[in-house]
Amino acid sequence: MKKGVFPGMENLMMPWIGKTMKHIDLYIATKMAEHGMNLTRQQVILLKILFHDGPLPQHDLAFLTDRDKTSLTRLLSTMEKKNLVARITSPEDKRVNMVHLTKNGEKVLNETAPVLLEVIMHMQSGITEDEQKTVIGVMRKIQENIEKHLDSCNSNK
């Protein structure tokens, strides 16, 4: 039996976080499909951002969703075909595309809410409130550690 390149990885959090996100993505896609909704987690996130903060410049959405310009453009093109969003040239700056949530996009977002609530409740079943608070606390610490490191890297430039 070969020894792994990174012995002991099963005892580190990073692989568990990554694997869990893959499971969550698959689970959300499966539940959406069961309810006749052809949406990914990324599309739902984008709809939610536009609902609360939109319309937004396309480059701001790339930053907010942590996507490169090419993958965001592909995502938006797919969502435009589904009539969920519309890209409209900014009247103030013709170089800027403003991304708008369509009426259909808002309707679809509202229809996904109960499905997402079902997903969340199922994922959290059997996990006590104290365990949930612990997980949230650990995730916050991980984010803070990363932010501190990134801040120190950026200040050294």
DSSP code per residue over 44-57: HHHHHHHHHH-SEE
Half-sphere exposure (Cβ direction) of 89: Cα atoms closer than 13 Å: 4
Residues 99 and 57 sit within 8 Å (Cβ to Cβ): yes
C-alpha span between 139 and 143 (Å, rounded):
6
The closest alpha carbon to 98, from 109, 85, 108, belongs to 85
Check residues 64 and 110 and name the one with the higher pLDDT.
110
Residue 52 burial (10 A CB sphere; 0-12, 13-18, 19+): exposed
Longest pairwise C-alpha distance within the chain: 64
Digit-coded pLDDT (tens) for 66-125: 888 889 999 999 999 999 999 998 888 888 889 999 999 999 999 999 999 999 999 999
Give the pLDDT score at 137. Answer: 96
Task: Dump pLDDT digits (tens) for 6-55.
Answer: 667 778 888 889 999 999 989 998 999 999 998 888 899 999 999 999 89
